[in-house]
Amino acid sequence: MAELKEQESADARGLNFVEQEVLADLQAGKNGARLSTRFPPEPNGYLHIGHAKAFCMDFGIAEKFGGTCNLRFDDTNPVKEDVEYVDAIREDIHWLGFDWGDREYYASDYFPQLFDLACRLIKEGKAYVDDQTSEQIAAQKGTPTEPGQASPYRDRTPEENLDLFLRMNAGEFEEGSRVLRAKIDMASDNMHFRDPIMYRIIKHPHHRTGTKWKVYPMYDFAHGQSDYFEGVTHSICTLEFVPHRPLYDYFVDELADETYRPRQIEFNRLNLTYTVMSKRKLLTLVKEGLVAGWDDPRMPTISAMRRRGYTPQSIKNFVDLIGYTKYEALNSVSLLEHAVRDDLNRIATRVMGVINPVKVVIDNYPADRVETVTMENNPEQPDSGVHEMPFSRELYIEREDFMENPPKKFFRLAPGSEVRLKGAYIIKCENVVKDADGNITEIHCTYDPDTLSGMPGANRKVKGTLHWVSAAHAVDAEARLYDRLFAVENPAAEPDRDFREMLNPDSLVVRQIKVEPFVAANARQGEKFQFQRIGYFTPDYDSTPEHLVFNRTIGLRDSWEKEQKKS
């Protein structure tokens, strides 16, 4: 045992602060040395990358120390909640590789117990019904330096309070006309102790309990007790709940004994540059059609990232990279993109796709000849094999890879210059054909027949190498090129501007592209491609064999390392 402890404290050096606290509790034998966590999403929207940070902690720490993690839907506000969200939340957590077994719970399952506890507190003189409006109550709250004022209803008798509370729940009173408040201390230094609201009247039907309840508990009255009813030992949440912690403990004291009590630990939330993370704002984007839905690939939601082609591993790697601290920070979205590239580089199949095609005609190549060249599928994975690609007289290359009047260091194609077509021959530009408006329609070249792999000139060096597809064999596809949804680095830091004005107008560009036949033949959902020199692509949900649609997951150029050097 002593040996085990030593080993464990040695490991503690690599643990984040939450893990160290949990480990200390386990080693001290608290709660019978049991570890139980929960992830408590409110089903009022889809999960985003910030939630992923939270549940990687909740599930991850349970896995690490042999505990369990519950999924608890925090469904205490029927107005905003929906089963669509419940289903999406389950799918997203599973996709990231976590499982809650049969431990799927709902705060609404505890409504009876919470109601009983509220009645008990009323009888003990610890709670009262206040007939004031929420505005009046807020006006009496005081400030951090000035005490609040007592409500004129504060000293109602327990009998009167109980009668009113039962009638609130029976539906006798209008929404907003009365609340149940804890009777604690209107002069407390902690504003959350100034007679916090425990219950409010809501007449909207609940997605699980229907019209059974007319009063609904507030977060502070529901969360700690739900933890307690579930046997949760460590209730891990974000830093904004630090000032709520004494209240969490206050209500838990009404239930707990010395054998078991849950405790709250807080870490910093994830904030990302060029991103909004507020569910309310994300819902606005969806409702107003500013994006195509919760899983529009530009959204910061997990379902959007899945659709866009991010891998679960890359998201977990990102969460590991940013870590958990006790200080708020703004993380760079470039680091997330870096993690995505890193993982896709490892797994994506290398292919050719031309996103802004212009035709190349090789005048000295026989019109009826087709050769096949062999392409490596993934140099990072030695056993990933090769695939074949047709080569013929007419090809497509990127329009940007040709310049009629190039600057000095342009190593791509230009009149009189040579480039290698990746995996195939060296070609030389002879002349161009233009349409009436002066746009280039064809680039005429000659090829050096001696430069294919295995031939004497195979290793002849030229400065540029271009990707290409054979025109007759290429397959048409649609490419959706995504950029950051917001043009402003920290939209949350600009409270005076409507966040909709900060959207990036170029966050989606659609292109008609040409892909090699191998891509079309393998464009299954979930497949990951690297279009060489362009970026990582995956088939979109809209893609069909007749109409291929690819999402560009991310371009190849990594801005993270540059950002690091600057700072």
Please say which residue, 40 or 539, places its beta carbon nearer to ligand ATP. 40
Q: Which residues pair with 236 in a beta bridge?
A: 265
Query: Largest Cα–Cα distance in the chain?
Result: 101
Task: State the nearest-atom distance from the C-beta of 59 to ligand ATP, in Å.
Answer: 12
**Least distance (Å) between residue 86 CB and ligand ATP:** 12
42 lies in the site for ligand ATP, by CB under 6 A: yes
Does residue 40 bind ligand ATP (CB under 6 A)?
A: yes
CB of 323 to ligand ATP, least distance (A): 12
50 touches ligand ATP (CB under 6 A): yes
With CB under 6 A as the rule, give the number of residues binding ligand ATP.
Answer: 15
Instruction: Between 238 and 446, name the residue whose CB sits nearer to ligand ATP.
Output: 238
Q: With contact defined as beta carbons under 8 Å apart, do 478 and 548 qualify?
A: yes
Q: State the catalytic residues.
A: 42, 269, 279
* Cα–Cα dist 283/289, whole Å: 10
Q: CA dist 168 to 37, 107, 160, 165, 234, Å? A: 34, 20, 12, 5, 34
**What are the E-state strand segments in 259-370?**
263-267, 349-351, 353-354, 357-362
Alpha-carbon distance of 327 to 476, in angstroms, equals 50
Nearest residue (CB) to ligand ATP, 44 versus 113: 44
Confirm or reject binding of residue 238 to ligand ATP (CB under 6 A): yes
* Cα gap 456→460, rounded to integer Å: 9
What minimum distance in Å lies between the beta carbon of 46 and ligand ATP?
Answer: 10
Sort 550 into a burial class: Cβ within 10 Å, 0-12 / 13-18 / 19+.
Answer: buried
Nearer to ligand ATP, 27 or 44 (CB): 44
State the binding string over 311-340 for ligand ATP (x if CB under 6 A, else -): ------------------------------
Is residue 54 near ligand ATP by the rule CB under 6 A? Answer: yes
Q: Are 149 and 195 in contact (CB under 8 A)?
A: no
Residue 357: name the closest of 233, 476, 247 by CA.
476
Shortest reach from residue 239's CB to ligand ATP, in Å: 9
Read off the amino acid at residue 72.
R
List Cβ<8 Å contacts ≥24 apart for 87-90.
Answer: 88/46, 88/47, 88/294, 88/303, 89/41, 89/43, 89/46, 89/47
In the bound complex, what is the minimum distance in angstroms from residue 50's beta carbon to ligand ATP? 2
Task: Please say whether the beta carbons of 81 and 42 come within 8 A.
Answer: yes
When asked if residue 53 is in the footprint of ligand ATP (CB under 6 A), the reply is yes
CA 154 to chain centre: 45
Cβ 97 to ligand ATP shortest distance, Å: 18
Decide if residue 82 touches ligand ATP (CB under 6 A): no
Which of 85, 391 has the CB closer to ligand ATP? 85
Nearer to ligand ATP, 140 or 238 (CB): 238
Residue 22 CB, nearest approach to ligand ATP (Å): 16
Q: In this chain, which stretch among 49-57, 254-262, 332-340, 403-411 interacts with ligand ATP, using CB under 6 A? A: 49-57
Binders of ligand ATP in range 278-297 (CB under 6 A) = 279
Stretch that binds ligand ATP, among 44-52, 292-300, 428-436, 439-447 (CB under 6 A): 44-52
Residues of 279-296 as b/e, b for ≥16 C-beta within 10 angstroms?
beebeebbeeeebbebbb
Determine the interface stretch with ligand ATP among 48-56, 210-218, 281-289, 497-505 (rule: CB under 6 A).
48-56
User: Interface with ligand ATP includes 354 (CB under 6 A)?
Assistant: no
The DSSP bridge partners found for residue 466 are 421
Of 360-419, binders to ligand ATP (CB under 6 A) are none
Task: Return d(Cα 138, Cα 136) in angstroms, integer.
Answer: 5
- Binding track, positions 241-280, relative to ligand ATP; x by CB under 6 A: ----------------------------xx------x-x-
Q: Which is nearer to ligand ATP, 282 or 419 (CB)?
A: 282
- Cβ proximity to ligand ATP, 196 vs 353, nearer residue: 196
Question: Is 350 among the residues that bind ligand ATP (CB under 6 A)?
Answer: no
Instruction: For the CB of residue 26, give the shortest distance to ligand ATP in the complex, in Å.
Output: 22
Burial class (CB in 10 A: 0-12, 13-18, 19+), 438: exposed
Where do runs of H (alpha helix) occur along 245-325?
245-253, 279-287, 302-308, 312-322
Residues that bind ligand ATP (CB under 6 A): 40-42, 44, 50-51, 53-54, 74, 237-238, 269-270, 277, 279
